[in-house]
């Protein structure tokens, strides 16, 4: 019974992030500006969906993860940004004998490009193209879920985004396709819906959709967020059986994001996020909280001084 939760937490870790000119919002960093910062987060779940059947997690109690992430964004031009993110994760269960894991997970790299920007009606529309790649940076064990910190799958992604802004009000919608590499595990045979005589697991690709809307000014960003992750393949956890890395994992979440740019230190900002899973399939009913601090450095001033 304890092994029935092996896939659920990893999805929740991958989907938890805070934002400040990130790969999922419509905000761009200016030319030669560099934003760097860190977020800390806490997520937990006790109930989960076994297939579409919702049940509680009696043997392991509450599964939780504490995350610290380093993030950065450099404005190559006003229309092209390069971003990175690297999380450190620690997991634990409140009951049972399974020990938690800790370590660095996957390094994510992104390129974010404004392909189209034009006035429409009383507002402005931006069409943004984002490409990304994530790869594990430590030799963590993926087959120890829910207390593993990741899946060891290299992932390439392509995201299309539209951002429409009228005055201080905005709406952003995006769709993402995630190409996931196969994973090697410490087993020579395993069973999904059929027997496999290999240590290589074929990971299904996944789609991710995100919609956010709210208020955006030079001081505040306040937005409501809805997103959905859908695995394009895989299979359900069967009753009282252990799950697997290639299980189908679907989840819909609702959340709120707030960002405050301070007036007492130029370039300093604080962010806070909260979200909860409202429906799912083979995932935990997770609630997540995170907060962070970011600082923007202006390298254009330095270049101007050096030129003089």
Q: Locate the domains of the chain by residue range.
A: 2-307
Specify whether the CB–CB gap between 164 and 123 falls below 8 A: yes
Average pLDDT, integer, range 270-279:
98
55-89, pLDDT tens digit by residue?
A: 887 788 999 999 999 999 999 999 999 999 999 99
Of the pLDDT bands very low, low, confident and very high (cuts 50, 70, 90), residue 214 is: very high
pTM: 0.89
- DSSP output for 289-306: EEEEEEEEEEHHHHHHHH
- The highest-level CATH class for domain 2-307 is mainly beta
Specify whether the CB–CB gap between 113 and 80 falls below 8 A: yes
The strand pair at 102-104 and 287-298 is best described as: unpaired
- How far is Cα of residue 218 from the mean position of the Cα atoms in its chain? 25
């Amino acid at each position: 019974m304890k092994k029935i939760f092996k896939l659920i937490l990893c999805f929740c870790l991958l989907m938890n992030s805070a934002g400040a000119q990130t790969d999922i919002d419509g905000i761009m960093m200016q030319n030669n500006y560099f934003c760097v910062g860190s977020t800390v987060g806490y997520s937990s779940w006790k109930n989960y969906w076994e297939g579409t059947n919702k049940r509680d997690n009696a043997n392991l109690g509450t599964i939780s993860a504490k995350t610290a992430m380093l993030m950065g964004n450099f404005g190559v031009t006003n229309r092209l940004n390069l971003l990175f993110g690297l999380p450190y994760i620690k997991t634990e269960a409140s009951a049972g004998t399974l020990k938690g894991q800790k370590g660095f997970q996957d390094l994510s790299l992104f390129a974010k490009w404004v392909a189209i920007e034009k006035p429409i009606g009383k507002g402005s529309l931006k069409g943004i193209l984002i490409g990304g790649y994530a790869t594990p940076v430590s030799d963590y064990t993926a087959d120890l879920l829910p207390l593993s910190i990741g899946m060891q799958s290299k992932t390439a992604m392509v995201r299309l985004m539209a951002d429409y802004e009228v005055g201080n009000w905005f709406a952003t919608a995006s769709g993402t396709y995630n190409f996931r590499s196969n994973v090697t595990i410490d087993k020579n045979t395993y069973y999904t819906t059929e027997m496999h005589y290999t240590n290589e697991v074929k990971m299904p690709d996944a789609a991710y959709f995100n919609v956010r809307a709210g208020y955006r000014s030079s001081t505040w960003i306040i937005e409501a967020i809805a997103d959905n992750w859908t695995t394009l393949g895989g299979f359900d956890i069967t009753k009282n059986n252990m799950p697997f890395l290639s299980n189908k994992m679907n989840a819909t979440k609702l959340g709120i994001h707030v960002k405050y740019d301070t007036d007492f230190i130029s370039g300093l900002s604080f962010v806070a996020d909260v979200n909860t899973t409202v429906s799912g399939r083979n995932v935990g009913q997770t609630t997540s909280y995170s907060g962070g601090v970011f600082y923007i450095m202006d390298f254009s001033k330095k270049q101007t001084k050096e030129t003089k």
